[in-house]
Amino acid sequence: MGLPQSAWSATILVLGDSLSAGYGIPINQGWVALLERRLKKEHKDIQVVNASISGETTAGGRHRLAGLLQRHRPDIVILELGGNDGLRGIAPKQMEQNLAAMIEAAEESGAKVLLLGMKMPTNYGPQFARLFESVYSRLANKYHVKWVPFFLDGVAMNTNLMQSDGIHPNAEAQEQLLKAVWAPLSGMLH
């Protein structure tokens, strides 16, 4: 059963890192702000809460999630975490445990979960990259949650869509990030 398009309000909680916090661009140009504007056009009374923090890890998100669930009582939780774990060399097994705990907590609160997957650059080694990437598919299958295999697909390797640091998408990329999220999210809304 999807969320009705009218009659009551709903809340989407985005728990992410710099990719969702809009690092290096005006916050009103980030994909989360674009999502909120699109929802306002297409649906009534869907609030988007962006609880994303630049530099956030899965451990930090896990620590903060209970309070966010209690405060905002979201109907949908979008989890966009793990990139910083990978960049810091945190064991994929630990990242998986943190993401699993967040999925379980969100579902126990009655929220549906959308998981946004990440990939590691090949310079981290092919084995680490494979282990890291497999976490998202394993969790999506285990918990039967909607997911995006690679949130930065079509963006990460396009220098025209990345900031000069080569890590963060620029303002022009935000519409493509929203498109990646919108496909599975729209199915959760209807």
Q: Which residues are catalytic?
A: 18, 165, 168
3-class secondary-structure state, position 76: strand
Residue 129: closest CA among 84, 86, 82? 86
* CA 118 – CA 61 distance, rounded (Å): 16
- Strand 10-16: give its sheet, edge to edge: 46-50, 10-16, 76-80, 112-116, 146-148
Q: Return the half-sphere exposure (C-beta side, CA atoms, 13 A cut-off) of residue 189.
A: 24
